[in-house]
Structure 1
């Protein structure tokens, strides 16, 4: 391979940064916080330590960026089936497919990170996604209110979050994808009775 071909193949800019962040994401999933080092990520990405240090101050800033990158690939888009019940069922199905492996794994692997840095999952979420609190459930509920399927007076922050919170709790406790029957129970037995207009 001549010099011109080598230069052509050299990764730069976003391509290089994405490769490093993907390597970092893969590294933390496989080796945990203790195995997440600048050297390990550089080797996995096929680049040098100096390239990483030009972009991130230390391993924790690199880790935060890698987590944001990895989790962004598992973000769940809100379905629009025309029905509140079907939208929520499909949202929870998508959530459990996207996060079943990641939530319990990351909660175990990152305990040391939170202890060492004095941060919390809330801090990490804010750093990754900003201060916006709008969720896929909010989009679904806005449409449901417009159709008369949900009572806006009943939609407190806790009520809006309850279905995803219950699903997330199940993932963390049981370390497996949430079964369809449990998803249906969360929606039919808990969520819908809380959000539907009285007497509906």
Structure 2
């Protein structure tokens, strides 16, 4: 229905709080999906969300922080903790899940983020903890179960030790540029590196 003469038009409702944040995150996810992290800009996200850059900067201080938040939104339900009853089975299951993820379009986004955050250790650590290839908490949980079962000594419970396997997997993707890592390589990482390492972490 046309506006009555002389009557002011009703302005569209202004979004605030959670509604605006949701619109920004949704726009950032769409930008990441279409253009990857290299194509993610505050200007493009603001236009897509129907807001301005100041509204984004009030919530995320820079493009990297926004990219991490959007990536987390994309993958929040992806990570699942395996429980095969043995350390070897759990580690292989985590690696295979990470390999599937890194081989997917979402994995391309993750690699772009990791490359873009190489000079920011704090944000890089946040991204690794939020990624669905298994942050330190997941690996420590799996290793903690092995300790409880008596498979390895408690001294193995160290974040750098716990995440060695997935770090080696990331290395295959980042330095070798492979589209997917063969399963035989995952088995080799587990049997030749990971299990010998954690089993040797015992008191002198």
TM-score, reference length from structure 1:
0.71
Which of 172, 177, 194 pairs up with 1:174?
177
Q: Does 1:189 align with 2:192?
A: yes
Q: How does 1:94-109 map to 2 (within 5 A)?
A: 94-100=97-103, 101-102=105-106, 105-108=109-112
Please report how far the alpha carbon of residue 127 of structure 1 lies from its aligned counterpart in structure 2 after TM superposition: 5.4
Q: Does 1:18 align with 2:19?
A: no
Q: How does 1:1-200 map to 2 (within 5 A)?
A: 13-28=17-32, 30-31=34-35, 35-45=39-49, 47-49=50-52, 52-57=53-58, 61-71=62-72, 73-74=74-75, 76-100=79-103, 101-102=105-106, 105-108=109-112, 120-126=119-125, 134-172=136-174, 173-196=176-199
CA distance in 2, matches of 1:192, 1:127: 27
CA distance in 2, matches of 1:155, 1:55: 39
Gapped runs of 5+ residues in structure 1? none
8 Å Cα contact 1:163-1:187 kept in structure 2: yes
Aligned residues: 185
CA distance in 2, matches of 1:152, 1:174: 36
CA distance in 2, matches of 1:127, 1:191: 24
Q: Which moved more, 1:52-61 or 1:86-95?
A: 52-61
8 Å Cα contact 2:29-2:74 kept in structure 1: no
1:116-147 superposed Cα distances (whole Å, 9 cap, x missing partner): xxx724221345669xx842110000000000
1:54-101 superposed Cα distances (whole Å, 9 cap, x missing partner): 241598624412322313543633212211111111111111222334
CA distance in 1, matches of 2:114, 2:189: 28
TM-score, reference length from structure 2:
0.70
8 Å Cα contact 1:162-1:191 kept in structure 2: yes
RMSD of aligned alpha carbons: 3.7
CA distance in 2, matches of 1:163, 1:34: 28
**Which one has more relative contact order, counting CA pairs under 8 Å at least 6 apart?**
1
Q: Which residue of 1 aligns with 2:6?
A: none
